[in-house]
Amino acid sequence: MSCGACAVGRITVKDPQLWDAYRNRVPQTLAPWGGEVLLRGQLSQRLAGHEPHQDIVVIRFPDMAAARGWFASPPYQALIALRSEAADVVLSIYEL
């Protein structure tokens, strides 16, 4: 039984100004889906393995349907081109 879901983005910023523009627009896309940013951070130390990305974001949703709905929603999809120009992002959803 699911206790929620998290979207995890591993990020390498290519253009800080565009990335800020993208990040400032994401929160309004989360609200209708119950999404909440839990963590934004930058890598400070690798303890094991290889991680090519320097930044991370973790967004919690009430369930997998909400996480998938957010990603597929027209307001978020409208930001994909900006995101792609601003950063290299690996975005995954994890069921809790």
What does the pLDDT look like over 23-68, one tens digit per residue?
A: 999 999 999 999 999 999 999 999 999 989 999 999 999 999 999 9
Task: Give the pairing of strands 5-13 and 87-95.
Answer: antiparallel
Examine the pLDDT at 2 and tell me if it is beyond 70: no
Q: Is 57 helix (H, G, I), strand (E, B) or coil?
A: strand
Written as one string, the DSSP assignment of 18-41 is HHHHHHHHHHHHHGGGT-EEEEEE
Q: Is the dihedral of CA 66, 61, 67, 5 positive or negative?
A: negative
Q: Is 90 helix (H, G, I), strand (E, B) or coil?
A: strand
- Domains in the chain: ranges and CATH: 5-95 (3.30.70.100)
pTM: 0.93
Model pLDDT, residue 96: 92
Examine the pLDDT at 1 and tell me if it is beyond 60: no
| Separation of alpha carbons 50 and 29, rounded Å | 31
Q: Share the mean pLDDT of the chain.
A: 96
Model pLDDT, residue 3: 82
